[in-house]
Structure 1
Amino acid sequence: MLARAARHAISRSANPSYRFRGCLHAIRHAWGLVNMRAATTSAIRPASVDDTNLIAFFDQPYAPQKVTSPTGLFGHHMLTTPSAFVALADSTLRRAQLLTDRILRARESRVELFRVVKNLDRLSDMLCGVIDLAELLRNAHPDHAWIQSADEVYEKLCEFMNILNTNVVLYEVLRDVLADSEVVGSLSPEARQTALIFWRDFEKSGIDLPPAQRERFVSISTEILVLGRQFLNETAAPRPPARIQWSELQGVKDLGMGARLRLQAQVTRRDLLIYPGSLQAQMIMRSAPAEEPRRKVYMAANSSTPEQIDLLERLLRARGELAQLVGKESFAHMALTDKMAKSPENVQRFLDALLEHTQPYARRALRALSMRKQAHLNTSPLPIIQAWDRDFYCPPEPPAPPISLPPLTLGTVFMALSRLFQALYGVSLRLSEVAPGEVWHTDVRKLEVVDEERGVLGWIYADLFSRAGKPGGAAHYTVRCSRRTDDDDRENDLKYADEHDRAAVRLSQDFEIGRHTPLPCQNRTYQLPLVVLLCEFARPSVRGGPTVLEWHEILTLFHEMGHAMHSMIGRTDYQNVSGTRCATDFVELPSILMEHFLNSPIVLALFDRNGGFAIRQTGTHQDDPCRSIDTHTQILLAMLDQLYHSPAVLTDTFDSTATLAQLYGSRGLIPHVSGTSWQTQFGHLFGYGATYYSYLFDRAIASRVWRQLFSQDPLNRGTGEMYKQEVLKFGGAKDAWEMVGNLLNSPILPSGDGTAMAEVGRWKIEDEVTMPSRH
């Protein structure tokens, strides 16, 4: 009954977000000489000692450790060995069963009925506290024994969650609670929202189905999970190489690598084998004047085996069958009921409006590329731009800051982040040394997040450097959520337990108490959030010096810290709605908004510890004509995602490749290439099935929030406080449309219907920051 993603913007469970199913949670302006201190109405204060300490903290080669006795992971004294983690899982399962039994007996006592919603949330938190930790360890821990134990724990607890998802009596207890006017009247708005989330998730689980169909539901859900993980593995599988003749590389503009490739082919007298995704392949796509080698590389990069296509289509059919089993027209109808969009019809209205806005710009850009091709090949006017022409006539440029900046180290960027959060929210980042055994690798740094009035909000563990075996990309893991704990009434969980049970759950009790790290607030005590950020930056060294970040890496860090601050500030009484535990098509708003701040020279001044240096433009920047083409492509992919999760997948004639070709034929700009089947590399179909539109949707909202509220005075504390009070603090405890509508003072948005979706689609996306891959 909790499957809120802990790894936002990276990966999510393939199953719908059931509370007991699993807890899994990447416009340039030309500025003249700028005097930073005079450029803003909100004064920039010099960096504090705590802020400047972050520079050395992140820029030195090794993380400092406390001189103290060894502990276990995250300070839990019991988590010192892989076997201890398995023992913790077993203890947690027994304790969860006891709490489940208590909830099942709730109708025997009026007092217990009033505690059902709280106890369901506690049960969810109890299981997710271990599952989320397992998900982190299986991805981040370098020790294979720990990874094995994490896999075992993950599978064991998820199996228990599957049982809870289809527990009819549990559902009936919640039904009686929601039918009792006195009990419902006693619930806070946040508690009612939590109860409704549980209710909707039970219904998604096919709880009203006859026993045989419920068993079928569990069986299909397991099948989807297995197929989804297989599909993800195949998306990363290497594609076969393209065979390129040396003569086809004549005139390559990259004289270094191109010359070496031609020489290699001449010496060996063999065709060159160019593997998709390699530096050689990228060089050919960007630099080979002849069309044929680019066509060959494109064809190789977008090929699929029949087995890969069949795997994807089996996954899509299984999702369709699952949806129809619970009476939904399609998986999209099933997945979107608790999202901002509510229905695939509303998603289509948003995408249609966005496409209508984007298409004229994209067509104009495509015409510019066609004119370049015409001049290059001396053809008749406006030749067709093929898929393999895009990078040659418009080479992708790495993202760059809007103004010239000195090299920025990782520590300098964290200093700027702390200063930005202080200006906006009164929240700062402070270094926190780890004890021996507290972290899984010596690279990991720990930050304390401190509010100027409320004190410590939580902790961020930053595992930011690449290493062998560590997953690529960036990730935000919620290992522990905020929730109120002073009214847990844990003693009554063991009311009917015997001595054997009491002994069996002791380890889990110790773990839960250790997780709380309580913070008294207004006569209440709260469990504090704990998140982990994973990135793959270069490691600092004594010889090479500190890590200097590329601009796309700074964008990535700002993005992930947007998620982290949502987790920190979103303090709620119920963990099911805390921080980033909100709708998939809302969760990216805070992280994408963070990227906009990097467009402001006022914010960029925070990278200088003294508060403001003069910055000159390096020259007039020419807009990339391909930006609108790329946005158009993203809209088509969101439409493809909807088609792949429509009722069509259950027809005998469904063909994922034909569907892709038909979409590009009817609404695309660049023709689909016969013989290619790129969809088998569309990894988001697993974690973001039917919700891939979310990035475009949240980009549109973030762009409007930035322009309307922050762009003129990005460090204004009053604006930051309003955003914090209207959006960040609620997590998923309040309707997202209402939050955004209040923030933007829009009377159209709170309805949350198709008209609201189309309105967001009409908003011009002006966040022309190139988005690095984060998932």
Structure 2
Amino acid sequence: MLAKAARDALSKHAKLAFRFKGCLNAKRAAPHFISRPATATATLPPPASRDDTELIALFDQPQLPQWSATTSTTGLFGHAVLTTPTAFVALAESALRRAQLLTARVLNARQSREDLFKVVKNLDRLSDLLCSVIDLAELVRNAHPDRAWVQTADNIYEKLCEFMNVLNTHVGLYEVLSVVFSDPEIVRSLGPEAYQTALIFWRDFEKSGIDLPPEQRNRFVSLSTEIILLGRQFLNESAAARPPALIKPSELQGLKDMGLGARLRLQAQVTNRDLHVYPGSLQAQMIMRSAPEEGPRKKVYLAANASTRDQIDTLEKLLRARGELARLVGKSSFAHMTLSDKMAKSPENVQRFLDALMDHTRPYARSALRTLSMRKQAHLRTPPYPIIQAWDRDYYCPPEPPAPPVSLPPLTLGTVFMGLSRLFQNLYGVSLRLASLAPGEVWHNDVRKLEVVDEESGVLGWIYADLFARRGKPGGAAHYTVRCSRRVDDDDVEGDFLQADEHDRALVEVSREFEFAPRRRFPGQEGTFQLPLVVLLCGFTRPTIGRGPTILDWHEVMTLFHEMGHAMHSMIGRTEYQNVSGTRCATDFVELPSILMEHFLSSPAVLSLFDPDGAFAIRQTGNHHEDPCRAIDTHTQILLASLDQIYHSPAVLGAQFNSTHALAQLYETRGLIPYVSGTSWQTQFGHLFGYGATYYSYLFDRAIASRVWRKLFAHDPLNRETGEKYKHEVLRHGGGRDPWMMIGKLLDAPELETGDAEAMAEVGRWKIEDEVSIPGRH
């Protein structure tokens, strides 16, 4: 989902994450979709190993300690410099001073031809230095239970992001990079990853208005700050509670959910007044799914989709500020500015993708809507095909939780981790192993540590799994990249201190100690690499001695597979430059590995990996049916992606722009369910901030993942040769190669490698999900 992937994101640093790009690389879980099970497999998995079965005990038996035999205490992630909040402050101050010295070295590079050849490497090191502390602070402020640590992390995060903001708009750094690009000899010396990294810095400087006159550059900075503040306000308002709907007790007669319905009616009788039903509450959900009368459902829908004038103003101010920012740097819209370095390249290409996907999806969505209409006709005894209104959707097609495609016994958390390890062994020759913890290494006793081991090259990195809910911990799931892989043997650290005095050398010693993370050489690859470290955060129920191990619902299994897709991208994506390592790639590419992982759960062969002994029967349940409303939901996602493009188009700077009118017009011209006058749902569309102009990415990566699954894996999902191809063509390169070239080679489709408008349309023509039958269509 790094992220995939946009967090409440979006503090000052999130706006900057695309520049000194390694930072804020948390990937949130994306929406889950899954295809039909494969009908046959050719590869049989080997039996579960002792390492695999030890994973069951690690996660299912909380009384078993994971501590190492040593009694020596360390700091977070094994860093002796991270034992207390005060030590964290010292680390941040040390890293900041080191960053200043390294910045000065880059600025002086024109005085040394040798240093000019090292500019790209040193800029990447500068990014890694700052992001290693910023990403750590981002994790600590979201996961640590100690408020002193959280407050310290907040302060460090803000302070280092301010310095990052200075770097993003530093004319001197841009000028030095310009010298590098204008020198043919230096350009020829750059390998593909180095050149890609240099382009990232170059494009991001230009997006920052770096070549503007001083007055306009100042305006760019002030607009950027305004956007951050408006974005935070918008996110807060989007999550704010809406006023309640007033429901009369008589309107709740005949509720399908008799237990809750009876309690609601009793509550109304006791109080002798209308019920106050708040949008998003269990009562509201029950009414939308179970109230036979249309009236209460309509009231709840209207309440849930209402906005105040102030909420709409906040959104429209945000959209206009983004439009003005784009105009400052010579782009016609924020979408044009944002998409220039994405796979899509332009909003016109995004629209080609969405139009092609809409053409494919619309007939199935219409067929599904006809099914709902017939249900409504039978329920109300109306003439044929009554109109389905927005408040009818959940009543005539109640949302159902996802379920496995075959009959399975209850799955414990440890069992699922064992299955994941066995899957990775089959595909990549990579396994998950129990790793011991030193006292002080983790922020909570629930955290478990895994080492990721390649059968040929050894340890690739580590995953810290913080998977259980607790008070104060954010809900949902996320993948955090705390440390990236990158090459370190050619860093030339001593060159950073040629102008440093003794005080500076003493001050930076803390950050040098922090930087010296585990590193090693890999067979067949030149250089020494620091090993990546990621954290998975989830909110599963904690196991206890009394209740036993955690049993995962199917949607939680899907969540874990999704997040582990990000984690393996981070582990396998070993590049020389941290700016292109693992999940640090284009926004509209980063969810591909995680969404593809969800598809593996449609295969009985993969599900058999959850059984260490081969004892459970994997059989079809006979009740795994297509959701008739899935096509409607996909159609709605396409509309939302289109709305995102409209809201970041040149239209927002027009005097007559009205976000509610734009929403209504989109639904009236391209929607299937009528727009409801008086509603303004757009103020709850929180992704407009974190994924501004890139909300299409979910659909885009779903389409690619579906294609990769069907063409490569569906018939034999445990095939090692196929897994190795995917690993070497996609996962291995992180963001160091053009994603279109990676996809083209993976699918043996060279026509995609241009990444032009026709390539975008072609992806739109791929099926996202298995089609349901449509009368008259074959």
TM over 0.5: yes
Equivalent residue number for residue 196 of structure 2: 193
1:197 match: secondary structure: helix
Equivalent residue number for residue 588 of structure 1: 591
Is residue 2:466 matched to residue 1:463? Answer: yes
Equivalent residue number for residue 54 of structure 2: 53
> Unaligned stretches of 5+ in structure 1?
770-775
Q: What one-letter code is carried by the residue in structure 2 that aligns with 1:665?
A: E
Distance 1:115 1:735 in 2: 23
Equivalent residue number for residue 533 of structure 1: 536
Equivalent residue number for residue 316 of structure 2: 313
Q: What one-letter code is carried by the residue in structure 1 that aligns with 2:5?
A: H
Equivalent residue number for residue 775 of structure 2: none
1:652 match: secondary structure: coil
Residue 7 (structure 1) shift: 5.3
Equivalent residue number for residue 18 of structure 1: 18
Residue 66 (structure 1) shift: 2.3
How many percent of aligned residue pairs carry the same amino acid?
Answer: 75
Is residue 2:695 matched to residue 1:692? Answer: yes
Distance 1:755 1:478 in 2: 34
Q: What one-letter code is carried by the residue in structure 2 that aligns with 1:713?
A: D
- TM normalised by structure 1 equals 0.96
Distance 2:567 2:470 in 1: 23
Residue 768 (structure 1) shift: 8.7
Aligned ranges for residues 424-435 of structure 1 at < 5 Å?
Answer: 424-435=427-438
1:460 match: secondary structure: strand
Residue 16 (structure 1) shift: 6.0
Residue 518 (structure 1) shift: 3.9
Contact 2:197–2:577, Cα closer than 8 Å, also in 1: yes
Distance 2:502 2:764 in 1: 60
2:216 match: secondary structure: helix
Q: 2:766 aligns with which of 763, 766, 775?
A: 763
Distance 1:209 1:74 in 2: 43
Residues 767 and 30 of structure 1: CA distance in aligned 2, closer, same or farther (over 3 Å): closer
Distance 1:31 1:755 in 2: 31
1:15 match: secondary structure: helix
Equivalent residue number for residue 772 of structure 1: none
Residue 15 (structure 1) shift: 2.4
Give CA deviations for 1:217-259 in whole Å, capped at 9, x if unaligned: 1111122122212222222211111111111000001111001
Is residue 2:411 matched to residue 1:416? Answer: no
Q: What RMSD over aligned residues (CA atoms) do the two structures have, in Å?
A: 1.8
Q: 1:754 aligns with which of 741, 754, 757?
A: 757
Distance 1:185 1:612 in 2: 59
Q: 2:180 aligns with which of 165, 177, 182?
A: 177
Is residue 2:10 matched to residue 1:8? Answer: no
Residues 125 and 428 of structure 1: CA distance in aligned 2, closer, same or farther (over 3 Å): same
Residue 60 (structure 1) shift: 1.5
Equivalent residue number for residue 668 of structure 1: 671
Aligned ranges for residues 328-347 of structure 1 at < 5 Å?
Answer: 328-347=331-350
Contact 1:18–1:205, Cα closer than 8 Å, also in 2: no
1:533 match: secondary structure: strand
1:751 match: secondary structure: coil
Is residue 2:487 matched to residue 1:484? Answer: yes
Distance 1:611 1:694 in 2: 39
Distance 2:18 2:374 in 1: 52
Contact 1:562–1:591, Cα closer than 8 Å, also in 2: yes
Q: What one-letter code is carried by the residue in structure 1 that aligns with 2:732?
A: K
Residues 158 and 28 of structure 1: CA distance in aligned 2, closer, same or farther (over 3 Å): closer
Residue 83 (structure 1) shift: 2.0
Aligned ranges for residues 83-102 of structure 1 at < 5 Å?
Answer: 83-102=86-105
Equivalent residue number for residue 644 of structure 1: 647
Give CA deviations for 1:306-353 in whole Å, capped at 9, x if unaligned: 121111111111111111111111000000000000000000000000
Contact 1:589–1:702, Cα closer than 8 Å, also in 2: yes
Distance 1:466 1:345 in 2: 43
Aligned ranges for residues 116-515 of structure 1 at < 5 Å?
Answer: 116-513=119-516, 515=517
Contact 1:332–1:646, Cα closer than 8 Å, also in 2: yes
Q: What one-letter code is carried by the residue in structure 1 that aligns with 2:661?
A: A
Is residue 2:72 matched to residue 1:75? Answer: no
Residue 5 (structure 1) shift: 6.3
Residues 236 and 519 of structure 1: CA distance in aligned 2, closer, same or farther (over 3 Å): farther
Q: 1:610 aligns with which of 608, 613, 619?
A: 613
Residue 619 (structure 1) shift: 2.1
Q: What one-letter code is carried by the residue in structure 2 that aligns with 1:186?
A: S
Aligned ranges for residues 536-575 of structure 1 at < 5 Å?
Answer: 536-575=539-578
Residues 101 and 362 of structure 1: CA distance in aligned 2, closer, same or farther (over 3 Å): same
Equivalent residue number for residue 706 of structure 1: 709
1:446 match: secondary structure: strand
Residue 285 (structure 1) shift: 0.6
Q: What one-letter code is carried by the residue in structure 1 that aligns with 2:194?
A: A
Distance 2:162 2:426 in 1: 45
Q: What one-letter code is carried by the residue in structure 2 that aligns with 1:20?
A: F
Residue 444 (structure 1) shift: 0.9
Distance 1:481 1:626 in 2: 41
Distance 2:495 2:299 in 1: 68
Q: 1:724 aligns with which of 718, 723, 727?
A: 727
Residues 175 and 611 of structure 1: CA distance in aligned 2, closer, same or farther (over 3 Å): farther
Residue 485 (structure 1) shift: 0.4
Distance 1:520 1:603 in 2: 30
Contact 2:37–2:602, Cα closer than 8 Å, also in 1: no
Contact 2:703–2:766, Cα closer than 8 Å, also in 1: yes
Q: What one-letter code is carried by the residue in structure 1 that aligns with 2:343?
A: M
Contact 2:534–2:567, Cα closer than 8 Å, also in 1: yes
Residue 357 (structure 1) shift: 0.5
2:453 match: secondary structure: strand
Instruction: Choose 469-478 or 406-415, whichever is displaced more.
Output: 469-478
Contact 1:22–1:158, Cα closer than 8 Å, also in 2: no
Residues 213 and 588 of structure 1: CA distance in aligned 2, closer, same or farther (over 3 Å): same
Instruction: Choose 614-623 or 593-602, whichever is displaced more.
Output: 614-623
Contact 1:365–1:628, Cα closer than 8 Å, also in 2: yes
Q: What one-letter code is carried by the residue in structure 1 that aligns with 2:703?
A: A
Is residue 2:664 matched to residue 1:625? Answer: no
Distance 1:516 1:641 in 2: 42
Give CA deviations for 1:136-178 in whole Å, capped at 9, x if unaligned: 1111111111111111111111111111111111111111111
Contact 1:299–1:676, Cα closer than 8 Å, also in 2: yes
Contact 1:570–1:731, Cα closer than 8 Å, also in 2: yes
Distance 2:244 2:615 in 1: 51
Q: What one-letter code is carried by the residue in structure 2 that aligns with 1:19?
A: R
Contact 2:485–2:575, Cα closer than 8 Å, also in 1: yes
Instruction: Choose 603-612 or 107-116, whichever is displaced more.
Output: 603-612
Aligned ranges for residues 728-739 of structure 1 at < 5 Å?
Answer: 728-739=731-742
Q: What one-letter code is carried by the residue in structure 1 that aligns with 2:628?
A: P
Residue 23 (structure 1) shift: 1.3
- TM normalised by structure 2 equals 0.95
Residue 10 (structure 1) shift: 4.7
Contact 1:28–1:768, Cα closer than 8 Å, also in 2: no
Number of residue pairs matched by the alignment: 760
1:532 match: secondary structure: strand
Residue 433 (structure 1) shift: 2.2
Distance 1:448 1:252 in 2: 51
2:19 match: secondary structure: coil
Residue 260 (structure 1) shift: 0.9
Distance 1:79 1:280 in 2: 46
Distance 1:615 1:732 in 2: 38
Distance 1:221 1:579 in 2: 28
Q: What one-letter code is carried by the residue in structure 2 that aligns with 1:311?
A: T
1:358 match: secondary structure: helix
Residue 81 (structure 1) shift: 1.4
1:508 match: secondary structure: helix
